């Protein structure tokens, strides 16, 4: 049996290991919809060093070949690529896992989707998993389910909870965002954690199963010090992560997405008038590949500090060139851009389309604050000479452009956006709290990296939940 500290050599098409009898301290996990390994990394963080030798992932499942390439690259074992609907329940019994980790497809429940719920074909594999749970001879003793906000008002969630109740589980539900753990990232997600009812919960009286909780679980890893590195941990600013603290309303039958959004906005306005718990959140600076903080206070002489600062500026400039946001994308999303500075304490959720488009796919970085409402959208970003990068400059190097009014050419000056770039894949991984040794194999393109990370999860949210779940009283 392989532990999470010592993954076996990659084997195509299977991740099974020899079953052994589970004990109260041993964890044998199955990862469903494993992606690039966010659940695996979360389990690794949740287990203390002395317990890691008693922890193993005995099977992982995903049908995305690129995700499986990345998973095998990092863990040495290739996930099973079969459809979960086609795998017999006897195979799960054979694996004898006592922990199920599940992050099923979110499209049936997303705010902007059709919200077909149980009638969506992408829900069927998950519904099948919970349907076979009663049939298993070796049922798991612990489960975790992750999905988008909106799942908590779905029929699929109701089916899950009914199966848990009928099969002797107690459960707790949460909606959490990384900003509750100090990470400047707005990615609210629904979680359900469950265990056999003979296994007791810590602080059970506070975290009942009657409501969806909107605060971190009571455990060691809920402290931001585990997710924000020095020196940034010393600069946390109190924030109310309303993306997770304001309840989502279920869309009424016949209601359009726009109508539902309007009702939700009014609902949020009412909720925001009430006092909310705040959480200390760091700046984005500490999650970037190039950080200016701490570069000039290492005791070196002035010349060394100047050289170091020059290297920082050159590295930053290189990233702005390599990951530049195309001007045409800025023009399309002019009034709905999500531009952030390294000093900001929030960036929006990255989706699988990040790097391809700007609008609605996640935040991008800019060098300085800019009022996008002042930009006419017809002039590109100013290049190094001060002329517009799209060739509309007049050659004076002062950032001016010209416009024709009849027979007359009138010089004019337009506010120019600062240089803008996408976050790099490494930075997106950092913001998802993936460890520094997480890497992509060379066959995965940049756009594929963005897509895989956009479909992943926040380790900072999941690891504390697993620590709380596995802390049997």
Cβ count near 119 (within 10 Å): 11
Q: Which two tokens stand for residue 154?
A: 């779905």
What is the rounded distance in angstroms from the CA atom of residue 97 to the CA atom of residue 21? 10
CA 18: distance to chain centroid?
32
Which residues does the annotation mark as catalytic?
106
What is the rounded distance in angstroms from the CA atom of residue 285 to the CA atom of residue 278? 21
What is the rounded distance in angstroms from the CA atom of residue 194 to the CA atom of residue 201? 10
Query: Which is nearest to 30 in space by CA: 130, 103, 112, 102?
Result: 102
Give 171's strand partners.
194
Collapsing DSSP to helix, strand or coil, 328 comes out as helix
Helix (H) / strand (E) element for 352: namely none
Question: Is 444:66 a contact under the CB 8 Å cutoff?
Answer: yes
Secondary structure tally for the chain: helices H, strands E: 12, 16
Only one residue has tokens 């120019």, namely: 416
**If you write DSSP's letter for every residue of 252-304 in order, what string do you get?**
PTT--HHHHHHHHHHHHHHHHTS----EEE--GGGGSSS--TTSS-SS--HHH
Collapsing DSSP to helix, strand or coil, 358 comes out as coil
Query: Which is nearest to 366 in space by CA: 325, 436, 421?
Result: 421
Question: With the C-alpha atoms ordered 434, 439, 444, 450, is the resulting torsion angle positive or negative?
Answer: positive
What is the rounded distance in angstroms from the CA atom of residue 339 to the CA atom of residue 379? 18
Distances (CA, A) of 165 to 123, 159, 205, 209, 467: 20, 10, 18, 11, 22
Phi, psi (deg, nearest 5) at residue 83: -65, 135
Non-local (6+) Cβ contacts of 297 within 8 A are none
b/e per residue 265-296 (b: at least 16 CB within 10 A): eeebeeeeeeeeeebbbbbbbbbbebbebeee
b/e per residue 414-426 (b: at least 16 CB within 10 A): bebbebbbbbbbb
What is the rounded distance in angstroms from the CA atom of residue 128 to the CA atom of residue 84? 8
């Amino acid at each position: 049996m392989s532990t999470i500290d010592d993954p076996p050599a990659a084997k195509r098409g299977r991740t099974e290991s020899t079953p052994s009898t589970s004990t109260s301290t041993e964890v044998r996990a199955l990862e469903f919809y494993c992606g690039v390994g966010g659940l695996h990394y979360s389990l690794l963080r949740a287990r203390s060093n002395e317990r890691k030798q008693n922890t193993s992932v005995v099977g992982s499942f995903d049908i995305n070949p690129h995700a499986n390439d990345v998973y095998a690259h990092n863990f040495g074992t290739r996930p099973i690529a079969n459809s979960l609907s086609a795998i017999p329940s006897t195979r799960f019994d054979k694996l004898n896992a006592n922990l199920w980790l599940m992050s099923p497809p979110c499209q049936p429940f997303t705010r902007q989707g059709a919200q077909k719920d149980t009638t969506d074909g992408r829900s069927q594999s998950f519904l099948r998993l919970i349907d076979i749970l009663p049939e298993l001879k070796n049922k798991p003793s612990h489960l975790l389910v992750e999905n988008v906000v909106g799942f908590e008002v779905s029929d699929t969630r109701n089916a899950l909870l009914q199966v848990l109740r009928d099969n002797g589980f107690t459960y707790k539900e949460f909606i959490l965002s990384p900003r509750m753990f100090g990470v400047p990232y707005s990615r609210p997600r629904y979680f359900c954690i469950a265990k056999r009812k003979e296994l007791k919960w810590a602080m059970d009286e506070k975290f009942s199963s009657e409501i969806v909780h909107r605060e971190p679980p009571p455990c060691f890893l809920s402290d931001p010090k585990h997710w924000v590195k020095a020196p940034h941990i010393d600069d946390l600013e109190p924030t109310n992560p309303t993306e997770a603290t304001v309840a989502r309303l279920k869309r009424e039958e016949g209601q359009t997405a726009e109508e539902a959004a309007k009702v939700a906005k009014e609902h949020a306005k009412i909720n925001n008038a009430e006092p909310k718990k705040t959480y200390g959140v760091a700046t984005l600076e500490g999650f970037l590949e190039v950080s200016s903080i701490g570069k000039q206070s290492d005791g070196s002489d002035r010349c060394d500090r100047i050289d170091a600062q020059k290297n920082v500026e050159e590295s930053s400039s290189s990233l702005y060139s390599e990951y530049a946001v195309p001007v045409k994308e800025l023009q399309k999303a002019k009034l709905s851009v999500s531009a952030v500075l390294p000093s900001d304490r929030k960036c929006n959720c990255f989706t699988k389309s990040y790097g391809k488009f700007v609008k609605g796919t996640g935040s991008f970085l800019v060098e300085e604050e800019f009022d996008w409402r002042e930009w006419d959208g017809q002039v590109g970003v100013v290049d190094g000479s001060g002329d517009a990068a799209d060739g509309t400059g007049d050659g004076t190097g002062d950032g001016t452009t010209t416009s024709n009014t009849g027979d007359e050419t009138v010089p004019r000056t337009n506010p120019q956006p600062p240089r803008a770039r996408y976050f790099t894949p490494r930075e997106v991984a950092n913001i998802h709290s993936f460890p520094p040794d997480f890497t992509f194999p060379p066959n995965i393109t940049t756009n594929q990296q963005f897509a895989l990370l956009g479909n992943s999860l926040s380790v900072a949210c999941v690891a504390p939940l697993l620590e709380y779940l596995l802390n049997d009283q």
